[in-house]
């Protein structure tokens, strides 16, 4: 049974959720999407760990499928078609704003409306969208206009709450001034803890907004499961990430080994240690690891109950200070990621 819980923010501040969320991307945005049977088992197992009244955050997107398709949302739809009683036990976050015509981001009012409708069509009424988020901040549209569009769609009953993703602290503040924001999704891990990350966390704490920290395991880098680039499928998205390139990976595996040693002393897995570390960054900071297998999801959820001592936090800080991560979160220069 999962013990650690928290509440969301904004218009969702009365909703109690597990301290660790479940990202669904790896079920479909991979070289070979998993079977419904495997996906359903993983989703259901996580929900089954929760006590009554606590919801599991499920994180999906308009484009988490081959060819930027709605494949992932279709898995979600089929899950709730089979298990309708689980709909009220989950909080479904959906990222959108993808324009299929432009093959890219478009947060114009017309495209956000189309994006939401595409997502709703894929879900087929089997599960409501609890929180809709533009996947990135479109610099061609002011954040104020973006949030006004989202507020109008929310008022029409398209979804219940507004979220943001990959946004700077100043953007969060401007958005929240237009309409309360329930959740902000940013990358947070021991190797992705930039100055702007810290500012976003502090701003959200001030405004009582929850944070879902995606990739708390550094896209798998910190799990201890990789020894070289030979362990990465060439079709896997990680094969293109800066930190997984040969020279960078050799450097970064030293960090992974140090975290593995610390986890062994702690009596938990490296994944659980990293998830516990992210969870320790704030009462409403919710680690968002992805998993496509039941056993991995259950392992991740236990990470929310891992409490690091001050000495262990200091040791983690020492590891990262003496051996800083090499490479950016995606490319070599991530300065344009913060919207």
Structure tokens at 273: 């240690």
For 75-119, write each residue's pLDDT tens digit.
999 999 999 999 999 999 999 999 999 888 999 999 999 999 999
pLDDT at 302 (0 to 100): 96
Q: Which of 337, 5, 9 lies closest to 184 in space, CA to CA?
A: 9
Which letter does DSSP use for residue 41 in this model?
Answer: H
DSSP 55: B
Strand, helix or coil at 314? helix
Nearest to 132 by CA among 172, 168, 182: 182
Question: Architecture of 5-223+277-307 per CATH?
Answer: Alpha-Beta Barrel (3.20)
214 is catalytic: no
Considering the entire predicted model, what is its pTM? Answer: 0.95
In this prediction, the residues of the chain whose per-residue pLDDT falls under 50 are: none
Q: For residue 279, give the DSSP letter.
A: H
Catalytic residue among 64, 86, 193, 226: 64
> How far is Cα 228 from Cα 128, in angstroms, rounded to an integer?
42
CA gap 25, 22 in Å, rounded: 9
Q: Please list the residues that pair with 59 across neighbouring strands.
A: 23, 93
């Amino acid at each position: 049974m999962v013990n650690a819980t928290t509440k969301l923010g904004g218009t969702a501040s009365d909703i109690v959720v597990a301290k660790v969320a479940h990202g669904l991307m790896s079920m479909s945005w991979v070289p070979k999407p998993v079977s419904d049977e495997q996906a359903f088992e993983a989703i259901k197992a996580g929900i089954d760990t929760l006590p009554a009244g606590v919801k599991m955050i499920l994180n999906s997107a308009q484009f988490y499928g081959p060819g930027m398709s709605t494949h992932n949302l279709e898995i979600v739809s089929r899950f709730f078609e089979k298990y309708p009683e689980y709909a009220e036990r989950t909080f479904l976050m959906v990222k959108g704003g993808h324009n299929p015509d432009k093959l890219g981001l478009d947060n114009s009012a017309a495209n956000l409306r189309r994006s939401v409708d595409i997502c709703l069509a894929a879900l087929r009424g089997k599960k409501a969208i609890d929180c809709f988020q533009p996947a990135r901040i479109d610099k061609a549209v002011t954040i104020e206009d973006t949030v006004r569009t989202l507020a109008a769609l929310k008022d029409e009953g398209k979804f219940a709450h507004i979220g943001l993703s990959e946004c700077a602290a100043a953007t969060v503040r401007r958005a929240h001034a237009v309409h309360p924001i329930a959740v902000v999704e940013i990358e947070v891990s021991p190797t992705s803890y930039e100055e702007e990350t810290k500012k976003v966390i502090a701003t959200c704490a001030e405004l009582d907004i929850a944070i879902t920290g995606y990739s708390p395991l550094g896209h798998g880098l910190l799990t201890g499961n990789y020894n070289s680039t030979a362990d990465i499928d060439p079709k896997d998205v990680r094969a293109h990430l800066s930190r997984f390139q040969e020279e960078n990976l050799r450097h970064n595996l030293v960090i992974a080994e140090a975290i593995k040693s610390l986890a062994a002393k702690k009596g938990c897995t490296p994944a659980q240690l990293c998830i516990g570390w992210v969870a320790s960054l704030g009462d409403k900071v919710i680690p968002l690891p992805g998993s496509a297998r039941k056993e991995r999801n259950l392992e991740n959820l236990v990470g929310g109950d891992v409490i690091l001592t001050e000495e262990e936090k200091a040791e983690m800080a020492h590891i990262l200070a003496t051996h800083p991560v090499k490479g950016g979160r995606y490319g070599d220069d991530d300065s344009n990621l913060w919207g």
